[in-house]
């Protein structure tokens, strides 16, 4: 009784706080007074990129994210008002997620003066391998050569992207190059510390294989000597046969936790977890506070792989 009496008002306060924050955020950029020299308007594809730009630009850039929280960057379709808002943007920072391939020409058309920068330039992409022991199927998937777009789950590769963001900001606003450089250096130091923290967390875990619904952690696995076993590949729901195979694999390697992410259905992961008497853990590659999220992710992986 006591508990529920206190819980409800707390929820109301939370909802009110959330709403007013949302309203403030919604009204903020247009209504806020412009500080000395118009700040830059930068558009990015996904939420973690907003964090990267803010780390380097500080107060000097407002950031617009095309794929909102909870949406799938592989298949997202921008709304008409988002396309119109591009007219006010100075630069678009690409990262190489699926929807860009479909929309980039239209994005460029919406603002011919837009500086388009590929922040993934120079990054060697991994191939998303089909999880299948069916020879014929496997061959087909390899032909498609699905390149893994999830380059932001690797601190090492985020450092490369941070350099590209710094160069873009310095090019658009050379007067503040020194600020951008100082911010870049602080961010790179945080990335180094994070990398060391992840290495330490994953040192000596019992199992180095993990099962995940959507294969977003390929670069993380590559950097930290883990092996990703995906349930879904190329955006398709797994067949009953594919599910059965993952279940066999889980039993073989004594895997008890199936990872999933909030942006996708957890149904397949739950089915497998039920079959193996295990459980589902959620990890998001798209959380807004990238640094904090990667720390949480490292802890989750350390727990899951240590079991
Ligand atoms: Zn993805």
Closest CA to 268 of 294, 237, 241, 290: 237
Residue 144: give the domain boundaries.
Answer: 9-195
Domain boundary among 145, 164, 195: 195
Mean pLDDT of 192-212: 96
- Ligand 1 centroid to Cα of residue 9, in Å, is 37
Residue 20: inside a domain: yes
Q: What is the pLDDT of residue 23?
A: 44
243 shares a domain with 162: no
Given 166, 195, 224, which residue is the final one in a domain? 195
How far apart are the CA of 92 and the centre of ligand 1, in A?
20
Q: How confident is the model at residue 191 (pLDDT cuts 50, 70, 90)?
A: very high
- Residue 160 CA, ligand 1 centroid: distance in Å: 20
Cβ atoms within 10 Å, residue 157? 23
The structure tokens listed for 55 are 């780390």
Same domain, 187 and 50: yes
Interval between CA 148 and ligand 1 midpoint (Å): 8
Position 137 scores a pLDDT of 46
| Residue 216 and residue 287 share a domain | yes
CA–centroid distance, 233 to ligand 1, in Å, is: 10
* Percentage, residues of the chain above pLDDT 90: 74
Cα(69) to centroid of ligand 1, in Å?
Answer: 13
The rounded Å distance from CA 2 to ligand 1 centre is 43
Q: Residue 6: is its pLDDT beyond 80?
A: no
DSSP codes joined into one string, the chain: -HHHHHHHHHHHHHHHHHHHHHHHHHHHHHHSPPPSSPPEEEEESSHHHHHHHHHHHGGGEEEEESS-TTS-TTT----HHHHHHGGG-SEEEE---HHHHHHHHHHHHH-TT-EEEETTTTPPPPB-------HHHHHHHHHHTPBP--GGG-HHHHHHHHHHHHHHHHHH-GGGHHHHHHHHHHHHHHHHHHHHHHHHHHTT-S--EEEESS---HHHHHHTT-EEEES-BTTBPPPHHHHHHHHHHHHHTT--EEEE-TTS--HHHHHHHHHHT-EEEE--S--SSHHHHHHHHHHHHHHHHH-
State pLDDT tens for residues 111-133. 999 999 999 999 999 987 654 44
Specify the range with the lowest mean pLDDT, choosing from 24-33, 80-89, 129-138, 229-238. Answer: 24-33
Q: How far apart are the CA of 101 and the centre of ligand 1, in A?
A: 14
User: What's the confidence (pLDDT) of residue 26?
Assistant: 41
Q: Clarify whether residues 278 and 134 are in a common domain.
A: no
pLDDT at residue 36, rounded to an integer: 53
pLDDT value of position 38: 52
Radius of gyration, alpha carbons of the chain:
21
CATH number at residue 244: 3.40.50.1980
Give the Å distance between the CA of 74 and the centre of ligand 1. Answer: 6
| pLDDT tens per residue, range 272-303 | 999 999 999 999 999 999 999 999 999 999 99
Query: In angstroms, what is the span from residue 187 Cα to ligand 1's centroid?
Result: 24
How many domains, in total, are found in the chain?
2
Question: What is the share, in percent, of the chain residues with pLDDT greater than 70?
Answer: 82
Q: Report pLDDT digits (tens) over 133-145.
A: 444 444 444 434 5
Tell how far the Cα of 38 is from the centroid of ligand 1, in angstroms: 34
Answer whether residue 2 is part of any domain: no
Ligand 1 centre distance from Cα of residue 151 (Å) = 10
Mean pLDDT over each residue of the chain, to the nearest integer: 86
How deeply is 259 buried, as exposed, middle or buried, from its count of CB atoms within 10 A (0-12, 13-18, 19+)? buried
pLDDT tens, residue by residue, 210-237:
999 999 999 999 999 999 999 997 778 8
Ligand 1: centre distance to CA 110 (Å): 26
CA of 108 to the centre of ligand 1 (A): 24
Over residues 139-182, the pLDDT tens digits come to 444 434 579 999 999 999 999 999 999 999 999 999 999 999 99
Shared domain check, 175 and 61: yes
Between 21 and 78, the higher pLDDT residue? 78
Distance 281 CA to ligand 1 centre (A): 17
Position 95 pLDDT exceeds 60: yes
The predicted model gives 258-281 an average pLDDT of 94
Within-domain flag for 273: yes
CA of 230 to the centre of ligand 1 (A): 12
Q: Write down the pLDDT at residue 234.
A: 75
Over residues 66-82, the mean pLDDT reads: 94
Q: Which of 2-11, 54-63, 235-244 has the lowest mean pLDDT?
A: 2-11
């Amino acid at each position: 009784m006591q508990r529920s009496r206190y819980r409800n008002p707390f929820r109301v306060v939370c909802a009110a706080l959330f709403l007013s924050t949302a309203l403030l955020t919604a009204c903020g950029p247009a209504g806020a007074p412009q500080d000395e020299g118009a700040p830059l308007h930068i558009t990015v594809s996904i939420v973690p990129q907003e964090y990267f730009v803010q780390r380097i630009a500080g107060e000097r850039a407002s950031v617009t994210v095309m794929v909102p929280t909870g949406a799938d960057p592989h298949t997202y379709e921008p709304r008409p008002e988002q396309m119109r808002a591009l007219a006010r943007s100075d630069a678009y920072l690409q990262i190489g997620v699926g929807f860009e391939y479909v929309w980039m020409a239209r994005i460029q058309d919406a603002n011919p003066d837009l500086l388009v920068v590929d922040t993934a330039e120079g990054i060697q992409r991994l191939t998303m391998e089909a999880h299948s022991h069916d020879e014929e199927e496997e061959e087909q998937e390899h032909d498609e050569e699905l390149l893994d777009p999830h380059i932001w789950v690797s601190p090492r590769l985020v450092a490369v992207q941070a350099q590209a963001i710094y160069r873009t900001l310095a090019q658009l606003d050379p007067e503040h190059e020194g600020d951008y450089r100082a911010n870049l250096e602080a961010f790179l130091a945080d990335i180094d510390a994070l990398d060391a923290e992840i290495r330490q967390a994953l040192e000596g875990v019992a199992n180095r294989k993990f099962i995940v619904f959507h294969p977003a952690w390929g670069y993380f696995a590559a950097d930290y000597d883990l092996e990703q076993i995906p349930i879904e590949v190329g955006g398709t729901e797994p067949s009953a046969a594919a599910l059965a195979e993952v279940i066999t694999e889980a039993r073989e390697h004594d895997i008890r936790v199936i990872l999933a992410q909030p942006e996708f259905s957890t149904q397949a992961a739950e089915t497998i977890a039920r079959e193996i008497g295990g459980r589902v853990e959620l990890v998001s590659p798209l959380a807004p506070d990238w640094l904090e999220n990667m720390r949480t992710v490292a802890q989750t992986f350390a727990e899951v792989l240590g079991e």
